């Protein structure tokens, strides 16, 4: 467990009852707007998958997925999803979606190895979305335009919430600032990646950090990224400055997905060419799946941000260490 942050003189403007109403209001407004602006249709998604398909997200490669045996199928193992990054691309083909069309879904995951703090929980809930694009759209300009669309949805939501609640002031700037991980490293060479994110987010208010996963000047990546869904040259995180906690808060991770060339290259760099034999990865290499762009947007994260909460446990139900529960109670942080 990382250090619990207690903002000075913090109190939630909403009690538990009104917080629940606020959560629904934020989610309903944002997802409706996002679906409209990106041309997405809502679909149902799995809670668990067959590990042999290669559809589960390996995240940084060291997290252990939650698994269980299915009694009816001779204890065949199933894995609770860690995200739906790969499943969505497969679903777009299976469900017969066309160029320019996309899907979104509620993704609920368990990340048992997560180090919890004010913004991290072992329970993950996000909107996972994915959209079919042409091969010609696999470029930074298209990525930036999509980021701007998602960001406008975030700004519109903040404006909507501020009309409902007097205590919510507008803090998101009109435009989001674009920067690559290499440029950020050059700007703050003596700082850690997380420190760099904090400094740039505080300076700009809202930042799109691009090209995450490949090695930087010091030989290490800015952050871990699985090699088999995002193209490391064409991905991005949307990060905002959050004054309640004085932190950089990531609200969305997204990117143009790997094609046959970038998948092969990234599997080689990551030293896991064995994954090329799995059904999903093989389908990408054989050009059997559509080219796509997609991402995840944290549901609890945006509820926390727009309702100005100090802890993610104020907008989602999870399990926290006893000392955290006790400390939160003492300091007016009402965990659900």
**Residue of 31, 121, 126, 299 with catalytic role:** 126
Sort 230 into a burial class: Cβ within 10 Å, 0-12 / 13-18 / 19+. buried
**Residue of 111, 138, 225, 308 with catalytic role:** 111
Q: Is residue 111 among the annotated active site residues?
A: yes
**Residue of 31, 252, 253, 299 with catalytic role:** 253
Burial 138-164 (b: 16+ CB within 10 A, else e): beeebbeebbeebbbbbbbbbebbeee
**Residue of 57, 130, 230, 231 with catalytic role:** 57
Query: Cα Rg for the chain, rounded, in angstroms?
Result: 20
Q: Is the CB of residue 253 less than 8 Å from the CB of residue 247?
A: no
- Strand, coil or helix: what is 87? helix
Q: Is residue 237 among the annotated active site residues?
A: yes
**Residue of 125, 128, 237, 259 with catalytic role:** 237
**Residue of 79, 128, 250, 314 with catalytic role:** 250
Residues 6+ positions from 136 with CB-CB distance below 8 Å? none
Q: Is residue 250 among the annotated active site residues?
A: yes
Taking CA 167 as the corner, what is the angle to CA 165 and CA 170, rounded to the nearest 5 degrees? 90
Classify the C-alpha dihedral 265-269-273-274 as positive or negative.
negative
Whole-number Å distance between alpha carbons of 101 and 105: 14
Q: Is residue 275 among the annotated active site residues?
A: no
Q: Is residue 106 among the annotated active site residues?
A: no
Q: Is residue 113 among the annotated active site residues?
A: no
Q: Which residues are catalytic?
A: 57, 111, 126, 237, 250, 253
């Amino acid at each position: 467990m990382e250090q619990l942050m207690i903002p000075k003189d913090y109190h939630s403007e909403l009690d538990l009852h009104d917080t629940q109403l606020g959560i629904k209001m934020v989610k309903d407004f944002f997802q409706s707007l996002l679906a409209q602006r990106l041309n997405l249709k809502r679909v149902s998604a799995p809670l668990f998958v067959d590990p042999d398909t290669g559809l589960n997200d390996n995240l940084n490669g060291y997290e252990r997925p939650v698994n269980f045996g299915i009694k009816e199928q001779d204890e065949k193992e199933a894995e609770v999803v860690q995200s739906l990054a790969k499943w969505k691309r497969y679903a777009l083909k299976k469900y017969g979606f066309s160029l320019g069309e996309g899907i979104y879904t509620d993704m609920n995951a368990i990340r048992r190895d997560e180090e919890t703090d004010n913004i991290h929980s072992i329970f993950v809930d996000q909107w996972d979305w994915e959209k079919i694009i042409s091969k010609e759209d696999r470029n930074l300009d298209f990525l930036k335009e999509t980021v701007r669309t998602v960001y406008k949805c975030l700004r519109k939501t903040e404006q909507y919430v501020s009309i409902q609640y007097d205590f919510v002031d507008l803090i998101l700037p009109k435009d989001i600032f674009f920067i690559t991980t290499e440029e950020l490293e050059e700007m703050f060479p003596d700082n850690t990646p997380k420190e760099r994110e904090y400094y740039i987010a505080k300076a700009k208010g809202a930042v799109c950090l691009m090209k995450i996963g490949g090695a930087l000047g010091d030989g290490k990546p800015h952050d871990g990224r699985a090699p088999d869904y995002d193209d490391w040259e064409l991905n991005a995180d949307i990060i905002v400055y959050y004054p309640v906690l004085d932190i950089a808060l990531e609200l969305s991770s997204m990117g143009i997905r790997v094609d046959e060339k970038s998948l092969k290259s990234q599997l080689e760099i990551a030293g896991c060419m064995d994954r090329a034999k799995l059904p999903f990865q093989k389908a990408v290499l054989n050009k059997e799946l559509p080219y796509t762009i997609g991402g995840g947007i944290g549901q609890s994260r945006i509820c926390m941000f727009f309702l100005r909460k100090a802890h993610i446990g104020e907008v989602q139900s999870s399990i926290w260490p006893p000392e955290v529960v006790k400390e939160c109670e003492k300091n007016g942080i009402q965990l659900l």
